Structure 1
Amino acid sequence: MPTTRIAFEDLPTAVQTAIEEHTGPVLKVESSAAGFNSEISARVHTEAGTCHVKGLRTTHPRAWTQQREADVNPYVRGIAPALLWSLETAGWHLLAFEAIDGHHADYRPPSSDLPKVADTLRRLGNLPCPQIELRHAEQRLHAYVDRRGDAELFAGNALLHTDLNNENVLVVDEQALLVDWAWATRGAPWLDAGYWIIWLMAAGGHTPESAEAWAARVPAWPAAPRHAIDTFAHANANMWEEIAGDEPDHWTARMLDAARAWSSHRATSL
């Protein structure tokens, strides 16, 4: 579920002081509405430059995701903004990334962003999975498969992003950069392409076939076992059913509809 966002100015004075020890005096702050995982997310302007600061209270249930992002960042340079500094003080854990001037990817056809995202997923697939603490895909999805052991189809040693919301993809010139690595995961190399399919369909304008055609531009996808893809689509439909509950908001209902439609397509196509 989305995390409640607070204004930069509402951070404790001790936290603001610690930030300025890294940045110098803050001249201007622009709060960001994008993203669901941070309590604070803002572009901070100083005489020395601009950075993007995001963070959570150390008591937040997902506080661990802050360290996950910090740990993975050195390994995804070139496809993600660089981490500039990290601090933990006065009950807050904050990360500062280089500020990127770009736009959120448009997933609707015939957007010119689509091949750029496919290329970034290809580049991610070429990166070695670092030996850091990561969640495992088969563990994250085991509750959503029908048969014991089916989640092992998602196991692997690839580094995955897994949260391909278009707001987590910034397009700068001819390149797409992936932000918000809170849910970085170790798993089968084709899984990010599968996650992308659901986001493409939810964006509108894509059939299951056209979304899968974009996924096929990621080299790992054509080699994925058909049964594994079918099981993954079904597991994601089950997961979004759980997230949606009885009265989903518009955003969640859109994701649920897309996941259901893809799962149905996989179940009925030859």
Structure 2
Amino acid sequence: MVTASGVRIGWADLPGHVRDRIERIIGGGPVVEALSQTGGFSPGTADRVRTADGRRAFVKAVSPSQNTDSATMARREARITALLPEHTPVPRMLGTFEQDNWVVLILEDIVGSHPRTPWVESEVDAAAAALAKLAQALTPAPDLDLPRVTDYVASDFACWAKLAADPPADLDPWLVANLGALRAASEHGLAAISHGDTLTHCDIRADNLLVRTDGRILIVDWPWGSLGPAWLDTVMLAMNVLVHGGDPSRLLVGLDPDDVTGVIAGFTGYFHWQSRLPPPPGLPTVRAFQRFQGDALVPWLRARLTA
């Protein structure tokens, strides 16, 4: 199994004046402990920190010099996180700032861990409950002047056409034989998610969720927050369960099967196209993870389209 984990800098790698400003926002004196967290692909920091008087926070900081897109995503995440109502199952924002090209987010530190993969039933159910609560709280979205999901994924869902123009030699033969059907399914999926006024997370997977000690789940990492249908995040959860070898069928009860197939077909095409590109600066492991996801989704997709 390939994990969703990149190569990060840590708290000590931040400039001293940036660390000083973070400590002032958290309060309680200097940071005396910083534990770098795995998961995700940003090359910036992801540290659980503790100050001298015991106050805790989760600090994320990244610079465009590491990866331009990562800095842009951090800015988007800061904007989206600030919009989320207090009763949503997400960590609270404690502060954010930009200084000397560093984009910094300071969040509530949550005692917990990522769901286990392969997924276990109790955590699938807890994640589904958190997403249902999230959709209820964010429909309609707290700010309708936000990008739509389709603004982010329209080009991603067109990747089967790119693959059809020059099929890679290592592309699964069944995929090659069914590129037309996969392209049509993806087009259907894109149309299905072009409606809706819910603020969706749009990147639900195990490393973007935290299981609290009481079993409840919080949703973290919001750079792709955008307007779409309330069911989209549940389909993305189902897709991650599939990627890790599980059965997501109970998550999909009541959803239009063609919409579900279309969305998963669209992301599968994206994973297969992207995984064959050179890695972006500062993100050396992301292509292997994309290939892992793309390959893992093919058996389910084959069964759905064949049926």
TM range (shorter): 0.7 to 0.9
Q: Find the aligned partners of 1:94 and 1:110 in 2 and give their Cα distance.
A: 34
User: Residue 181 of structure 1 is aligned with which of 219, 222, 230?
Assistant: 222
Aligned position for 1:190: 231
In the alignment, is the contact (CA less than 8 A) between 2:6 and 2:43 conserved in 1? yes
In the alignment, is the contact (CA less than 8 A) between 1:107 and 1:166 conserved in 2? yes
Q: Find the aligned partners of 2:64 and 2:85 in 1 and give their Cα distance.
A: 25
Q: Secondary structure, in 3 states, of the residue corresponding to 1:44?
A: strand
In the alignment, is the contact (CA less than 8 A) between 2:149 and 2:193 conserved in 1? yes
User: Residue 60 of structure 2 is aligned with which of 51, 54, 57?
Assistant: 54
Instruction: Give 1:132 deviation, angstroms.
Output: 5.4
2:103 maps to 1:85: no
Aligned position for 2:281: none
Moved more, 9-18 or 79-88: 9-18
Q: Deviations over 1:185-240 (max 9, x none)?
A: 21122211221122101222x2xxx3122343xxxxx2x43332222122111111
> What is the root-mean-square deviation of aligned Cα atoms in Å?
2.5
Identity %: 24
Q: Secondary structure, in 3 states, of the residue corresponding to 2:69?
A: coil
Q: Find the aligned partners of 2:23 and 2:5 in 1 and give their Cα distance.
A: 28
Aligned position for 2:165: none
Q: Find the aligned partners of 2:15 and 2:227 in 1 and give their Cα distance.
A: 36
Q: Deviations over 1:152-196 (max 9, x none)?
A: 221121111121221111111131001111111211222112211
In the alignment, is the contact (CA less than 8 A) between 2:272 and 2:290 conserved in 1? no
Q: Find the aligned partners of 2:220 and 2:265 in 1 and give their Cα distance.
A: 27
Instruction: Give 1:38 deviation, angstroms.
Output: 5.0
2:237 maps to 1:231: no
Alignment of 1:97-136 (within 5 A): 97-108=107-118, 110-127=120-137, 128=139, 129-131=141-143, 133-136=145-148
User: Residue 31 of structure 1 is aligned with which of 17, 25, 36?
Assistant: 36
Q: Find the aligned partners of 2:237 and 2:128 in 1 and give their Cα distance.
A: 9
Aligned position for 1:243: 274
Instruction: Give 1:56 deviation, angstroms.
Output: 1.6
Q: Find the aligned partners of 2:241 and 2:90 in 1 and give their Cα distance.
A: 21
Q: Find the aligned partners of 1:126 and 1:183 in 2 and give their Cα distance.
A: 19
Q: Deviations over 1:109-132 (max 9, x none)?
A: 544211110100111121221215
In the alignment, is the contact (CA less than 8 A) between 1:240 and 1:259 conserved in 2? no
Aligned position for 1:45: 50
Moved more, 111-120 or 33-42: 33-42
Moved more, 257-266 or 50-59: 257-266
2:207 maps to 1:167: yes
Unmatched tracts of structure 2, length 5 or more:
159-182, 279-285
In the alignment, is the contact (CA less than 8 A) between 1:233 and 1:262 conserved in 2? no
Q: Find the aligned partners of 1:225 and 1:48 in 2 and give their Cα distance.
A: 49
Q: Secondary structure, in 3 states, of the residue corresponding to 2:61?
A: strand
Aligned position for 1:75: 84
Instruction: Give 1:67 deviation, angstroms.
Output: 2.9
2:41 maps to 1:10: no
In the alignment, is the contact (CA less than 8 A) between 2:57 and 2:107 conserved in 1? yes
Aligned position for 2:153: 141
Q: Find the aligned partners of 1:102 and 1:29 in 2 and give their Cα distance.
A: 16
Q: Which has the higher contact order (CA 8 A, sep 6+)?
A: 2
TM-score, normalised with respect to structure 2: 0.76
Q: Residues 106 and 142 from structure 1, CA distance in 2 versus in 1: closer, same or farther, beyond 3 angstroms? A: same
Aligned position for 1:219: none
Instruction: Give 1:54 deviation, angstroms.
Output: 0.4
Q: Residues 114 and 225 from structure 1, CA distance in 2 versus in 1: closer, same or farther, beyond 3 angstroms? A: closer
Unmatched tracts of structure 1, length 5 or more:
217-221
In the alignment, is the contact (CA less than 8 A) between 2:8 and 2:45 conserved in 1? yes
Q: Residues 48 and 246 from structure 1, CA distance in 2 versus in 1: closer, same or farther, beyond 3 angstroms? A: closer
Instruction: Give 1:37 deviation, angstroms.
Output: 2.9
Moved more, 18-27 or 77-86: 18-27
Q: Find the aligned partners of 2:39 and 2:5 in 1 and give their Cα distance.
A: 11
In the alignment, is the contact (CA less than 8 A) between 2:63 and 2:102 conserved in 1? yes
2:297 maps to 1:259: yes
Which structure: greater strand fraction?
Answer: 1
Q: Secondary structure, in 3 states, of the residue corresponding to 1:177?
A: strand
